[in-house]
A and B are shown apart, each in its own frame.
Chain A
Amino acid sequence: MIHYKRVFLLLLIAKIGFAQQSDFKNIDFSKADNIAKTVKVKRLYKLNELTFKLTKNLNTDVEKVRAIYVWICNNIANSFSLYSLNERKRNRFEKDSIKLQNWNSKFKKKLFKKLLKKKRTICTGYAYLFKEMCNIAGIESKMVNGFGRTSSVDFSELTMPNHTWNVVKINNKWYVCDPTWSTGISFPEEGRFKFNFNDGYFLTTPKLFFKNHFPLEKQFSLLGKQTPSFLDFTEMPLLYNDAFKLIEEHQLPLKMDHEIKKDSMVTFQYKLKTNINLNKVKFVLFSGDNERRITPTRKSIQNNILILNYQFKRRGFYDFHLYFDDEIIATYVFRVKK
């Protein structure tokens, strides 16, 4: 009974019109995407011209934003060397605000020169570029600094904001997007980057976006009074890239860490963006020395809502991962007691 009430409440909140990609359900992005694919430039010294080429044949603001966004995602690589350099220096000067400011100023110039010449940058660079191109096209956009959460982020150590993304105003309504993360994935152990367009970070449902993007300025969550606290943010379930491609809402459970009794039945619930094969949904249970693939105790999809149940039968401490086929979607941690 309690579960149903929670679900109903969550569904109700979700319906109170948050700005998201489904606002543009009737717009076909293929024209904008095609233009973004075909426009090629070697250097970025003529941003006016580039932006004009991308947007002149598009009639709506959302399509113009899309063309700019997809172009950036197809053409601007993430520079691992610049990222490492900046990380090292920022960590070194964390306690010295003057040195940090000097580094920041010096690095910024270097960063933008490299961006214009070599089309490579790090996340604040992507956010700047997106904002600039939108502004040139007459569309309002801002940069948002805050905390980006990935599996590598350790909140016990992370005290300074680590990520930048954007908000953009279309038809008088604000939307969120993350051009850096939409562009691709980095492999820090190998020091490399791979282009891999993720549409899920384009005009994302604010509540879902908030699961791994905490803005320093609350207003940019687009959640108004419903904006969770930083503490809440650090306790949310961990979501991965493909979660944003495949799910519209993460409904249950509410937190990442759980302490439960043996034989408890846990419910996982998601609103899906698209159809998935229920047979390809699996859990992976990792207990340090042992990893097992698990089928949910119960599973169903109805009206795009995916409900999974699992009963933890053995005591222990587990990392619990959700996969749709081979794509990792979410991680939870369970401490199962007697």
Chain B
Amino acid sequence: MKTTKTLTIKNNKLLLCGLFFSLFLLSNTAIAQIQVKGIVKGKTETEIEVLNGASIYLKGTNVGTSSNKKGEYNFPQQLKVGDVLVFTYLGYLKKSIKIKENTSTLNVTLIEDDNQMLGALNTNKRFKSKRLKTQ
């Protein structure tokens, strides 16, 4: 009598484990399979154009890619929901975008930042007081 009871419990435990395990497997495979590609553009006061050489990388990792002459990119690694892609290009504000379930084509337009272009030349020319300048 006792033996039969123990066996039943064991079987139930096994069944339960099996159920959880397969659910786990299923949910995992559903997440890590998002292929993202798109076009990166840049917007200034006067126009919008595609960006050649924009950086796109997975936040917190070394995995990334760059856009081509047409602004096109294809992310080299499959992503999952919740991953953050960072888009940057010199002179524009970077954008971080969270991947959603239905993400596949991700076109991004970066906005110009307002930094001024300055350029003091580095020189080793010796100083001369105005007062001592001849002529």
A residues sitting closer than 8 Å to B (CB atoms) are 43-49, 52, 56, 78, 80, 82-83, 86-87, 101-102, 104-109, 111-113, 115-116, 122-125, 128-129, 132, 135-136, 138, 143, 145, 148, 150-153, 161-164, 180-181, 183-188, 238, 240-242, 286-289, 317, 319, 321, 328, 331, 333
Question: A104-B116, A124-B118 known; A48 and B66 CB under 8 Å?
Answer: yes
B62 contacts the other chain (CB 8 A): yes
In the assembled complex, which residues on chain B have CB atoms less than 8 Å from the CB atom of A115?
90
> Are A241 and B124 closer than 8 Å at their CB atoms?
yes
Of all A-B residue pairs in the complex, the 5 with the closest CB atoms, nearest first, are: A45-B53, A122-B119, A48-B64, A163-B120, A148-B120
Nearest-neighbour CB distance to chain A for B60, whole angstroms, equals: 8
In the assembled complex, which residues on chain A have CB atoms less than 8 Å from the CB atom of B115?
108, 124, 128, 143, 145, 164
CA distance A148 to B123 in the complex (A): 11
Chain B residues 91-135 with CB under 8 Å of chain A are 91, 94, 112, 115-129, 131-132, 134
B52 contacts the other chain (CB 8 A): yes
B residues sitting closer than 8 Å to A (CB atoms) are 42, 44-46, 52-53, 55-57, 60, 62, 64-66, 68, 88-91, 94, 112, 115-129, 131-132, 134
Nearest A residue (CB) for B88? A132
Among A108, A132, A317, contact of B117 (Cβ-Cβ < 8 Å): A108
The number of A-B residue pairs with CB atoms under 8 Å apart is: 159
Nearest A residue (CB) for B117? A124
Among B94, B112, B122, contact of A186 (Cβ-Cβ < 8 Å): B122
Nearest B residue (CB) for A138? B60
> Are A152 and B125 closer than 8 Å at their CB atoms?
yes
Nearest A residue (CB) for B127? A151
Nearest A residue (CB) for B67? A45
> Are A328 and B116 closer than 8 Å at their CB atoms?
no
> Are A162 and B118 closer than 8 Å at their CB atoms?
yes
CA distance A72 to B46 in the complex (A): 31
In the assembled complex, which residues on chain A have CB atoms less than 8 Å from the CB atom of B126?
151, 321, 328, 331
> Are A83 and B122 closer than 8 Å at their CB atoms?
no
CA distance A49 to B56 in the complex (A): 11
Among B42, B117, B119, contact of A104 (Cβ-Cβ < 8 Å): B117
